[in-house]
């Protein structure tokens, strides 16, 4: 199955699972597990992931919930589309985040979700982790206390682990930055840098920043 068929998008401070309605359940689970494994350590415990309503049978939805649970994520059905105010039914999904453990809520609040491209001159700074559903263009800058995941092309300046966390990392579908920093370590790409065609992860190993391809 094409990697692009299943997408995890930012939506109203949460994450949302999106895929064509004709994708077989077995393929959804296989691709979803691979994506979650590749992002291990990035998605903070307690993050809420919404899945399409009326798509999964009861047993299938339970299996999806369990898969997310094993990765520390909370799986919920997508909120109903706004309709005529016939009843208070939408209230069923409103307390989801509020009813998680306090520590989980705090961690969720520390993940900044950016659902757009960062253009030159724009800067983002946060004490937690950042996930960008878009590109980071030249001249844009991200400074994060945690890790940074760019679901697009990264050509700007990215500083992960800004408070000194050398275990933080930077992931991008196309990692071609102006500069990357992790904690106090700095790396610049070579002048002849080419797009590898694969997502890549930058992290600190043996006192220097290394970059390796990963599977999304």
pLDDT band (50, 70, 90) for residue 170: very high
What is the torsional sign of CA 205, 211, 212, 216?
A: positive
* Strand ranges in 161-198 using DSSP code E only, listed in sequence order: 170-175, 179-182, 185-187
pLDDT band (50, 70, 90) for residue 183: very high
The b/e string for 57-86 (b: 16+ C-beta within 10 A; e otherwise) is eeeeeeebbebbeebbbbbebbbeeeeeee
pLDDT at 110: 64
Q: How far is CA 32 from CA 67, 132, 176, 191, in A?
A: 9, 19, 26, 36
Summarize the confidence of residues 36-59 as an average pLDDT.
78
Topology of domain 110-214, CATH? Pectate Lyase C-like (2.160.20)
Residues of the chain by 3-state class (helix, strand, coil), percent to 5: 20, 35, 45
Tokens of 166: 């050398």
Q: What angle do CA 46, 127, 51 make, to 5 degrees?
A: 30
3-state class of 154 per DSSP?
strand
What is the CATH number assigned to the segment(s) 3-108?
3.30.750.50
User: How many other CB atoms are there within 10 angstroms of residue 29's CB atom?
Assistant: 14
**What average pLDDT is seen over the chain?**
80
Residue extents of the structural domains in the chain: 3-108, 110-214
pLDDT band (50, 70, 90) for residue 168: very high
């Amino acid at each position: 199955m094409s990697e692009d068929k299943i997408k995890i998008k930012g939506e109203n401070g949460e994450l949302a699972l999106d895929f064509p309605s004709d994708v077989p359940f077995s393929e959804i689970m296989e691709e979803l597990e691979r994506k979650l494994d590749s992002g291990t350590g990035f998605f903070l415990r307690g993050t809420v992931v919404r899945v399409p309503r009326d798509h999964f049978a009861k047993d299938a939805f339970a299996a999806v919930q369990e898969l997310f649970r094993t990765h520390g994520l909370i799986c919920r059905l997508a909120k109903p589309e706004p309709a005529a105010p016939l009843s208070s039914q939408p209230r069923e999904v409103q307390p989801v985040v509020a009813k998680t453990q306090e520590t989980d809520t705090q961690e969720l609040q520390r993940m900044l979700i950016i659902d757009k491209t960062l253009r030159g001159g724009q800067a983002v700074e946060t004490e937690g982790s950042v996930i960008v559903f878009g590109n980071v263009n030249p001249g844009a800058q991200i400074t994060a206390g945690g890790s940074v995941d760019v679901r697009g092309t990264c050509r700007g300046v990215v500083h992960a682990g800004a408070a000194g966390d050398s275990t933080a990392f930077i992931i991008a579908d196309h990692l071609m930055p102006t500069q990357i920093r992790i904690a106090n370590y700095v790396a610049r790409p070579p002048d002849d840098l080419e797009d590898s065609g694969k997502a890549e992860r930058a992290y600190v190993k043996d006192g220097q920043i290394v970059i390796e391809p990963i599977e999304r």
